Structure 1
């Protein structure tokens, strides 16, 4: 058998005319009339002759072709089909060579429908884009381990704890997505990385907010009638986040109810229902003052195009020397509800646009407490416009024992 192998020489291969030449043991060299040349191996597996290519010549030399032939003949001796085995190895290699950046983008696309605004703002993806992908984006996802993750997030683990936590969460989702695609990944890598990084030292600070008793003075100081001031007034009166208010459209208002599209509402996971906001007398008056500024139906347009930016109201308050933020008025409202009323918890939380109760509970209790909220928001509106220094009356609901 030994004498039947290695019948060709490198020089003979180089000078070969068109045709097929055996090197022995099933290894063949073939040269076409156009000069293209290749190696192939003939073997018999389970009584069936199989022919597999081993590469083109001269990219694959005679020596390399013999080594490849030896490898696949050994596979045949083990009773396996070398072509099927090689195809499987290629598929596995291709699957395991998916880069993290590709998996992350695919995971983002698959989740867009459940994100606010179909994820157009990119906030879900930004922790990955800014803090993970620059270092790990081009690494095959199957090779990522806890040490890689630790080294990537260590610089922000303590001084940007909230962002680091989001990045770790998103990375865990990407690894689970990769596993669902059939890739070989370590699903516990993020948990192991957390153990290596240790407990975060950073403490989340609450958003600075005016005390609710100071809100009337600030509200009444917004008296120049600019778009920014009117937007701040309505933000205070509705206790909503800035995004729904910035994109407030005249078509969304009917009577004393403003219907906010579900995709503009944050914090309402588990529901796709539009959110109804009862408008107090004062809120309707602010809307009427803002109508002349409306453009393309948007009540609070930007200076040149679109709507006012997310930072417009924040910058206004900063220019006035305030550390408080527009978002803080939600806390002001919630504190007023807790301290000056006996409003039921579910009603108060619904005013803020929060989803209350579990999925089963919501399936049976379908009210959005609109009538109760209408009373509460009217009283809040009255508070903001009351004469400064006037006595504050507490709101008591029917049925209260106090």
Structure 2
């Protein structure tokens, strides 16, 4: 039987003439006229003859061809089609070779509709792009374990805790997405990595804010008539909108003393579902009128070259003046003023800042945004901050 199965020799294989030469047990060597040679195996499964290639010379030697033949003959004896089994194995191998960066991008694309502005700002993807993909992007996601994740996030786990947490959360979503794609991933790997990383030793740093008593003097100092000065004044006067809506303000959003901020410019998933109405004080309307000559491409606060001024433009102005406070901090200045210098109801002050109040059930029954009461409070704030002019 051994002789019947091993008819060929290595020397013969090397110099075999053109034609098909049997090694026994269905294993054949096909020597082509062009000098190439191919191994193939013939087996019978369920009464049907199947012929499958096993590779070519010299990449597959006689010894290797016999080993492959033994393996696939065993599969055939089990009543399985060796060609279909191999095809399935290859599909599974290709499936498991999906690298993380491809899975992450596919995951991002499928979630764009859930993100503000369809994720164009890149905030969802950037933690992965900056801190995970440079190290793990080209690794098949099926091969990534908790140690890989731990080693990747460890350098920023404490030093950049907020960013690390976002990267970790995005990675968890990517692993769930991979599982939905039927990839062979360890869904527990991120959780196990978090256990290895331990609790974050990071103290939350709130944005430094200017004491409300100092705001009028700072507001008065913004008197150079530049785009940056106008933008900062409007930001202070309309504290509920944050920097992004102010920088992207367009005249078409304003009607009378009402500025309607598009939902996609508002922060937060809840706010992103509806526009936000901002009552404009007399001072805010005056700032808009003064800034109108600078309008370009529909934007009231354009950048020197293209687009709109950046968030850093206003922050750098305050930094150059040696101030610790930053533009976002005027929200805290306003809220503290409301608490210490006015009798404004808590829910009205919170509504000025576009904060959601109450639980989900309470919000579902609330049908007011306190526009008229906010209009009165914002005018009081404007009168106060402009009192030093």
Fold in common (TM above 0.5): yes
Mark the runs of 5 or more structure 1 residues left unpaired by the alignment. 389-402
Task: Note the alpha carbon deviations across 1:293-323, whole angstroms, 9 max, x for none.
Answer: 1111110111222211221100100111101
Give 1:291 deviation, angstroms.
Answer: 0.3
Give the Cα–Cα distance (whole angstroms) in 2 for the partners of residues 306 and 271 of structure 1: 22
The match for 1:122 is 122
Bigger mean CA offset, 300-309 vs 117-126: 117-126
1:166 aligned counterpart, secondary structure:
helix
How many positions carry a matched residue from both structures?
A: 388
The match for 2:242 is 241
The match for 2:335 is 334
Give the Cα–Cα distance (whole angstroms) in 2 for the partners of residues 186 and 347 of structure 1: 48
Structure 1 pair 256/270, CA: closer, same or farther in 2 (3 Å)?
closer
1:321 aligns with 2:329: no
1:251 aligned counterpart, secondary structure:
helix
Give the Cα–Cα distance (whole angstroms) in 1 for the partners of residues 48 and 358 of structure 2: 66
Structure 1 pair 3/54, CA: closer, same or farther in 2 (3 Å)?
same
Bigger mean CA offset, 77-86 vs 169-178: 77-86
The match for 2:98 is 98
The match for 2:213 is 213
Task: Note the alpha carbon deviations across 1:145-180, whole angstroms, 9 max, x for none.
Answer: 111111111122112211111111111111111111
Give 1:362 deviation, angstroms.
Answer: 4.7
The match for 1:302 is 303
The match for 1:192 is 192
The match for 1:143 is 143
8 A Cα contact 2:37 2:56, kept in partner: yes
The match for 2:289 is 288
Bigger mean CA offset, 78-87 vs 296-305: 78-87
8 A Cα contact 2:100 2:138, kept in partner: yes
The match for 1:398 is none
Give the Cα–Cα distance (whole angstroms) in 1 for the partners of residues 111 and 283 of structure 2: 40
The match for 1:108 is 108
1:18-167 alignment runs, 5 A limit: 18-167=18-167
Give 1:206 deviation, angstroms.
Answer: 0.9
Structure 1 pair 270/371, CA: closer, same or farther in 2 (3 Å)?
closer
Task: Note the alpha carbon deviations across 1:255-294, whole angstroms, 9 max, x for none.
Answer: 1111222222112447432222211111111100100111
The match for 1:400 is none
CA RMSD of the aligned region, Å? 2.1
Task: Note the alpha carbon deviations across 1:327-377, whole angstroms, 9 max, x for none.
Answer: 101111222233344544444333223344555655554443322322222
Richer in helix (by share): 2
1:337 aligned counterpart, secondary structure:
helix
Give the Cα–Cα distance (whole angstroms) in 2 for the partners of residues 275 and 375 of structure 1: 17
The match for 1:225 is 225
Q: What is the TM-score when the length of structure 1 is the normalising length?
A: 0.90
Structure 1 pair 110/358, CA: closer, same or farther in 2 (3 Å)?
farther
Mark the runs of 5 or more structure 2 residues left unpaired by the alignment. none
